[in-house]
Structure 1
Amino acid sequence: MPMKRKVLLFIYGCVVVACGIGLINSTTNHAEYTIKASIQASTQDEDYVGLVAFKHYLEQHSQGRVEVQLYPSGQFCGSVPECIGNLQKGVLEIFPSTAGGTGNFFSPAQVIDLPYVFSNDEQAECVLAGPLMDEMRKQVLAQGLNLRLLGVSNTGGWRNFATTKKAVHSPQDLVGLKIRTTPADIQQELVRQLGANSTPISWAELYTALATGVVEGSKNGIQDIIGAKLEEHLKFVVLDGHSYMATLWWFSEPAWQALPSDIQQLVLEGFKIQAATANQFVKDQEANSYRLFEAAGGTIYRPSDVEKQAFIAASSQMRPWFAQRFGNDWLNLLDSAVAQCSADPAL
Structure 2
Amino acid sequence: MGKLKKLNLLLVMLVAIVLVACGGNGGGEEGAEGESASSGEAKTIKLAHSGSESHQYHIAAENFKEVLENKEGTNFTVEIHPNASLGSEGDAIEQVISGSLEMTTVAADSNLSNTIPEMNAFGIPYIFDDKDHVYSALDGEAGENLLSLADDKGMKGLGYWEVGFRHLTNNSTEVTVPEDVEGMKIRVQPATVWEEHMRALGANPTPVDFNELYSALDQGVVDGQENPLPTIDSMKFYEVQDYVSLTGHTYTPAVVLMSNSFYEGLSEEEATAVEEAVVEARDYQRQTLDEKEEEILTKLEDEGVTITEPEREVFREATADVKDAVSDEVPEEIVQSLIDSKE
Report the TM range for the smaller structure's normalisation: 0.7 to 0.9
Q: Is 1:79–2:88 an aligned residue pair?
A: yes
TM-score, normalised by the number of residues in structure 2: 0.82
Amino acid at match of 1:336: D
Offset, 1:80:
2.4
Unaligned runs of 5+ residues in structure 1 are 1-27
Offset, 1:247:
0.8
Task: Decide which of 156, 161, 168 is 1:148's aligned counterpart.
Answer: 156
Is contact 1:37-1:95 (8 Å) kept? yes
Offset, 1:317:
0.1
Structure 1 runs of 4+ off > 4 angstroms? none
Amino acid at match of 2:94: G
Structure number with greater Rg is 2
Single out whichever of 218-227 and 187-196 deviates more from structure 2: 218-227
Q: Structure 1 residues 207, 89: closer, same or farther in 2, change over 3 A?
A: closer
> Hey, what's the Cα distance between the residues in 1 that align with 2:230 and 2:290?
10
Q: Is 1:55–2:52 an aligned residue pair?
A: no
Counterpart of 1:46 in structure 2 is 56
The one-character-per-residue Cα deviations of 1:236-255 (angstroms, maximum 9, x if unpaired) are 21111011131101011111
The one-character-per-residue Cα deviations of 1:204-259 (angstroms, maximum 9, x if unpaired) are 44334434443322112223223333223322211110111311010111111111
Task: Decide which of 231, 253, 276 is 1:269's aligned counterpart.
Answer: 276
Give the RMSD, CA atoms, in angstroms: 2.1
Counterpart of 2:140 in structure 1 is 130
Q: Is 1:320–2:324 an aligned residue pair?
A: yes
Counterpart of 2:173 in structure 1 is 166
Offset, 1:64:
4.9
Percent identity of paired positions between Structure 1 and Structure 2: 25
Is contact 1:137-1:149 (8 Å) kept? yes
Amino acid at match of 1:329: E
> Hey, what's the Cα distance between the residues in 1 that align with 2:212 and 2:99?
31
Task: Decide which of 214, 220, 228 is 2:227's aligned counterpart.
Answer: 220
Counterpart of 1:98 in structure 2 is 107
Counterpart of 1:210 in structure 2 is 217
Q: Structure 1 residues 122, 223: closer, same or farther in 2, change over 3 A?
A: same
TM-score, normalised by the number of residues in structure 1: 0.81
> Hey, what's the Cα distance between the residues in 2 that align with 1:211 and 1:73?
18
Q: Is 1:285–2:295 an aligned residue pair?
A: no
Is contact 2:55-2:231 (8 Å) kept? no
> Hey, what's the Cα distance between the residues in 2 that align with 1:218 and 1:82?
22
Is contact 1:31-1:64 (8 Å) kept? no
Is contact 2:105-2:257 (8 Å) kept? yes
